[in-house]
Amino acid sequence: MAVTDTTVRAAVEPLTAPPRRRRHRSPATWARRGGLTTLLFFLPLLLSFGYFSWWPILRSLMLSLQQTNFITSTWVGLANFERVLADPLLGIAVWNTTYFSLLALVVGFPVPILTAVFLAEMRRTRGVASALAYLPVIIPPVVAVLLWKAFYNPGANGLFNTMLGWVGLGPLAWLNDPDLVIPSLVLYATWAGFGTGVIIYLATLMTIRTELYEAAEIDGARILRRFWHVTLPQMRGVLLIMLLLQLIGTFQTFTEPYIMTGGGPENGSLTILLLIYRYAFVAGDYGRATALSLLLAVALSLLSALYMWATRRWSTS
Amino acid sequence: MTTAGAPSRARRRRPADEAERSIISMMDRRQPGVRAVVGVIGTGVLIALAVTCAGPLLWLFKAATSTSTETLAQPFAIWPSGIQWDNIVQAFAEVDFARYLGNTLLVCLGSWFFGLLVATTGGYGIAVLRPAYARVVSAAVLATLFIPGVISLVALYLTVIDVPLLGINLLNTFWAVWLPASASAFNVLLVSRFLTTIPRDLFDAAKIDGAGAVRIFLEIVLPMARPIIGVLSLLTMVAAYKDFLWPLLVLNKPELQPISVALPRIADNTDLAVLMAAMFISVLVPVLVFLAFQRQFIRAAGSAGALKE
């Protein structure tokens, strides 16, 4: 387009004009007017994103259609996708990941909302309480995961089993029980993540205009009804986006199963990301790994689009 | 905990006493029934938070200073054979822990520097300089925010082991962690959003006074952006400290690994008490930093959330 633009201009303008004029500016004046300095300011961003964001995304699209070793790549069409879909582990990984995400949503999503609402009412202790709630977020996930792995010690003397013993329950096998492994991971993930939610919701709660509560109070709404009819509707924008972000995050869970269980027992905690990791970095099959990454990314994008479309009426913005 | 809580409480008192109200009004609070319920729930929440959030850390401290058999046999016994400070000494001696701490520091500082460099210069370009191509660049940056990170994991790895055009291999260098971390659309967006709130007259006035783009950046933008730079610094450092999968992939050599990668590697063949001591040390630094800069952390988390709306 730029070429035709220049040629048209060159034809229309007098012959004395510089031949490669574009937008009435030559590169020299462009540089003198600060164009070069501006470009220099963009350079770190362009290099960083070019190399480590844009190019890898484009390359993913190509890799998924290629068979690659480090020396040569050959185009194999959709063979990688076929091999992904033919893997009996895929169904297990998809089921585990979905189960994990939905359970994490049911268990983990209301916790920070309720905590934040309570904290908003606690005036003198709010600072201490929000700091406490944020503490698990500060702990490096690797340490927290290793710590919880110790808590989940399946022996009768394990920490959680000892606690269950106080009320006459257990001992449970926790991470060693194929049926209990995902709920155990969800419990950990809820603990590790709820602090972020608390802080974000608390910030939102503080922006709710007090007139709304006063109006509701004058109309005779009791405390619980004020929560239901004023607080929740005022928070819906942030709630909607946090729900989507949580889903996108939990569908890409890796660290917890990788360190706690390695995907076991009996593939009971094999997640999609763990499968991608195994394809790429255990088996060295980059094509297959990228094909699965791409499928997951497309699924998540579709999910986001669908979600945005379905909730567009409730969204505030 | 109490010393750290005190300043924030003092700071919060004033707005709390002013017109601020929430679901429960002052009038409600005068009723004894409401006040009792609020008090009970408030205390309950506080205790629950203390047990669930501070409890594991206290237990970790106890496990770090107990013997392995004590931790395994009686998880709730409080130092039955006295405090074993020796575990912490052993963590440094046996596990080469000082090196992993140093590596973590290097990873954090580098990620912070490059993250800030890209976000501030890029944000300045998009929000203030605004050349013709800024809209395209801005859209391309924003697009990556909506693409799940998993899509480029493998391709990014292949890019890092053979950087296009340059033909160099960054594997087992800190560059492999620093540079990819700097390509964060979120950070760029955070800075450019902030800079658009600065009145443009200020830049025009500086330009009329003869200041070039570089001087405006160094003498106006950077000082004015200090609050957002603080937020960004915390977010990039915490992210670098917490990251696991990426450094696991690109830092294979044990002597280069940060704590997050080294700990799981040594977990299985290290004595439990020594492992717990090592874990405790690696938690201690971020927790102390957090307690010292509590307000900044919470504000950073809050403003990160505001961007999500």
**pLDDT recorded at residue B108:** 94
pLDDT in the model for residue B38: 83
CB A178 within 8 A of CB A268: yes
Residues B155, B220 share a domain: yes
Does residue B147 sit in the same domain as residue B39? no
Average pLDDT for residues A229-236, to the nearest whole number?
87
Tell me which chain A residue has its CA closest to the CA of residue B292: A131
Is residue B103, in this structure, part of any structural domain at all? yes
CA distance B308 to B190: 10
3-class DSSP assignment, residue A297: helix
* Cβ-Cβ contacts under 8 Å, B188 against chain A: 45
Q: Are residues B73 and B141 in the same domain?
A: no
Distance from CA of B138 to the nearest CA of A (A): 10
Residue B178 is part of a domain; what is its CATH number? 1.10.3720.10
**CB–CB of A252 and B149 under 8 A?**
yes
For residue B57, the chain A residues in CB contact (below 8 A) are 135, 139
| Distance (Å, whole) CA B242 – CA B262 | 13
Residues B58 and B132 placed together within one structural domain of the fold: no
B80: amino acid identity, one letter: P
Could you tell me if residue B308 is inside a domain? no
Q: What does each C-alpha distance from B59 to A28, B115, B259, B305 come to in angstroms?
A: 67, 35, 20, 31
**What integer pLDDT is reported at residue A92 of this predicted model?**
94
Same domain (yes/no): B54, B118? no
Owning domain of residue B144: 96-269
Contact B221, B66 (CB under 8 A): no
Final residue of a domain: which of B44, B61, B87? B87
**Alpha-carbon span B94 to B198, nearest angstrom:** 53
Q: Give ipTM to 2 decimals.
A: 0.84
Last residue of a domain, one of B40, B55, B87: B87
- Which pLDDT does position A162 carry in this prediction? 87
Q: How many domains does chain B have?
A: 2
CA A113 to each of CA A39, A108, A253, B115, B234: distance values in angstroms, whole numbers, following the listed order:
45, 9, 22, 31, 24
What pLDDT is stored for residue B16 in this prediction? 42
Percent above pLDDT 90 for chain A: 38
Whether B264 sits inside 8 A of A68 (CB atoms) is: no
B49/A115 CB distance under 8 A: yes
What are the beta bridge partners of residue A75? A66
Among all chains, which residue has been given the structure tokens 């990556």?
Answer: B144
Cβ <8 Å between B129 and A56: no
According to the model, what pLDDT value does residue A315 have? 62
In this structure, the answer to whether residues B250 and B181 fall within a common structural domain is yes
Of A21-25, A67-71, A171-175, A182-186, the poorest mean pLDDT is in: A21-25
| B125 pLDDT higher than 80 | yes
Answer whether A53 sits within 8 Å of B146, measured CB to CB.
Answer: no
Rounded CA separation A253/A257 (Å): 8
Residues of A in contact with B142 (CB under 8 A): none
pLDDT band at A206 (very low <50, low <70, confident <90, very high): confident
Contact flag B302-A49 (C-beta cutoff 8 Å) = no
Domain end, chosen from B87, B106, B129, is at B87
Among B137, B155, B10, which residue's Cα sits nearest to residue A41? Answer: B137
pLDDT band at A3; cut points 50, 70, 90: very low
CB interface of A with B, residues 112-171, below 8 Å: 115, 117-144, 146-148, 150-151, 153, 155, 157-159, 162
Higher pLDDT, A6 or A270: A270
A296 touches chain B (CB under 8 A): yes
Same domain, B156 and B178: yes
In this structure, what DSSP letter does residue A68 have?
E
Give contacts of A54 with chain B, Cβ < 8 Å.
140, 144
B190 and B256 assigned to the same domain: yes
Do B7 and B148 fall within a single domain? Answer: no
Looking at beta carbons, which residues of chain B come within 8 Å of A97?
Answer: none
E-strand stretches of A223-304: none
Q: How confident is the model at residue A25 (pLDDT cuts 50, 70, 90)?
A: low
Task: Compare all CA atoms of chain A with the CA of B75 and give the residue at the minimum distance.
Answer: A159
Over 90: is that where the pLDDT of B76 sits?
no
Sorted by where each begins, the domain ranges of chain A are: 82-310
Q: Are B140 and B68 part of one and the same domain?
A: no
CB contact under 8 A, A214 and B5: no
Q: What does the block give as tokens for B95?
A: 């596990």
Does residue B102 sit in the same domain as residue B82?
no
Check CB contact under 8 Å for A150 and B157. Answer: no
Neighbours of B111 (CB within 10 A): 24
B151 contacts A293 by C-beta, under 8 angstroms: yes
Q: Is A122 left (phi over 0), alpha (psi -120 to 50) or beta?
A: beta
Interchain CB distance below 8 Å, B152 and A53: yes
Q: Residue A68 pLDDT more than 70?
A: yes
For chain B, what percent of residues have pLDDT higher than 70? 92
Q: With an 8 Å Cβ cutoff, is A208 touching chain B?
A: yes
Instruction: Check residue A275 and give its pLDDT.
Output: 94
Say if pTM beats, i.e. exceeds, 0.95: no
Q: Are residues B112 and B63 in the same domain?
A: no
| Band of residue A70 on the pLDDT scale cut at 50, 70, 90 | low
A289 touches chain B (CB under 8 A): yes
Inter-chain contact B75–A157, Cβ cutoff 8 Å? yes
**Count of pairs with CB atoms under 8 A, one residue in A, one in B:** 320
Residue A138 has pLDDT above 80, yes or no: yes
Nearest to A42 among B122, B162, B297 (CB): B122
Which of chain B's residues have a Cβ under 8 Å away from the Cβ of A203?
302-303, 305-306
Q: Mark yes or no for CB contact B291/A60 under 8 Å.
A: no
A128: nearest CA partner in chain B: B5
The verdict on A303 touching B (C-beta cutoff 8 Å) is no
Contact across the interface for A143 and B279, Cβ inside 8 Å? yes
Chain B residues with CB inside 8 Å of A242's CB? 308
Does the pLDDT of residue A211 top 50, yes or no? yes
Q: What is the pLDDT of residue B28?
A: 77
For residue B275, is it within any domain?
A: no
Is the model more confident about A282 or about B23? A282
Q: Is residue B305 part of a domain?
A: no
Assigned domain for B82 exists: yes
Q: Do A63 and B298 touch (CB under 8 A)?
A: no
Fold for the domain defined by A82-310: MetI-like fold (1.10.3720)
Residue type, B67: T
Answer whether residue B192 is part of any domain.
Answer: yes
Query: b/e for A258-288, b at 16 or more Cβ within 10 A?
Result: bbbbebebebbbbbbbbbbbbbbbeeebbbb
- B144, B164, B309 ranked by CB distance to A241: nearest: B309
